[in-house]
Amino acid sequence: MESVVETATCAAPRRTPRPRADALRNRERIVTAAREMFVEFGPDVPLDEIARRAGVGNATLYRNFPDRAALIHEVVLAVTSRTTDRLEEAVAAEADPFTALSRFVHAAADERIGALCPMLSGGFDTEHPDLLSERRGLEEAVEGLVERAKSAGRLRTDIAVGDVLVALSQLTRPLPGIACLDIDRFTHRHLQLFLDGLESPARSELPGSAATLEDLRAGS
């Protein structure tokens, strides 16, 4: 006959051990270092250099990320999530939707969102469920802010959310042979020129048609 202790032990659900705080900090440091170095040197930067900048050993890096693809996946996920956070912060801080949009565009540039583009090629799984969910969340949040700015009469009516996302991607993408971290003053200057062109009333007629999310997804 089983004892009460044995019965209770068998009935109790097994707990999944939580990662230690230092292990979580190491993982965050690796992702941060990888994001910085991917921006500076591209997605082929040696992983041991990323480990060195993060202040961890190679074994720690590979324990968290078994290969380059896993690390790139996490960096893209982190940047996309952080960019959505920046949008929510802008909306909370600014009552005027166009001012919130402007604030978000500059904040997204600081997240180096354009630097992700060279990493989204080759065998990278852009349709991974986690990434797809984060990307759709960001796109729809930007779309909502664009539509509110239009409804308020602050944003010209002949553009769509895709125009904002394409320009943001292009204007924050690193130039070949130039350290992206050293050209912030130019990036924000050119972003402001772009934002000035979005304000209503429109100062010119745009060629072609507005870029929608459907246009972007069809071309991906």
- The predicted-structure confidence for 6-31, as pLDDT tens digits, reads as follows 444 444 455 555 557 888 899 999 99
Q: In the predicted model, what is the mean pLDDT of residues 170-192?
A: 68
pLDDT at 7: 45
pTM, rounded to two decimals: 0.78
**Tens-digit pLDDT profile for residues 77-101:** 999 999 999 999 999 999 999 999 9
pLDDT band of residue 180 (cuts 50, 70, 90) is very low
Greater confidence, 56 or 220? 56
CA distance 63 to 214: 39
pLDDT of amino acid 1: 45
| Token reading at 188 | 């924000």
Please write the tens of the pLDDT for every residue from 119-170: 776 667 878 899 899 999 999 999 999 999 999 999 999 999 999 988 888 8
Most confident of 30-44, 51-65, 199-213: 51-65
pLDDT at res. 9 = 45
Angle ∠(199,163,170) on CA atoms, nearest 5: 110
Cα separation of 156 and 201, whole Å? Answer: 6
| Pair 63, 80: CB distance under 8 Å | no
Beta-bridge partner residues of 155 = 199
Question: Where on the phi/psi map is residue 69: left (φ > 0), alpha (ψ -120 to 50), or beta?
Answer: alpha
Between the alpha carbon of residue 35 and those of residues 79, 113, 208, 212, the distances in Å are 8, 10, 35, 28
Q: Using an 8 Å Cβ cutoff, are 120 and 164 in contact? A: no
Geometric angle at alpha carbon 59, from 57 and 60, rounded to 5°: 70
Residue 53 has pLDDT above 50, yes or no: yes
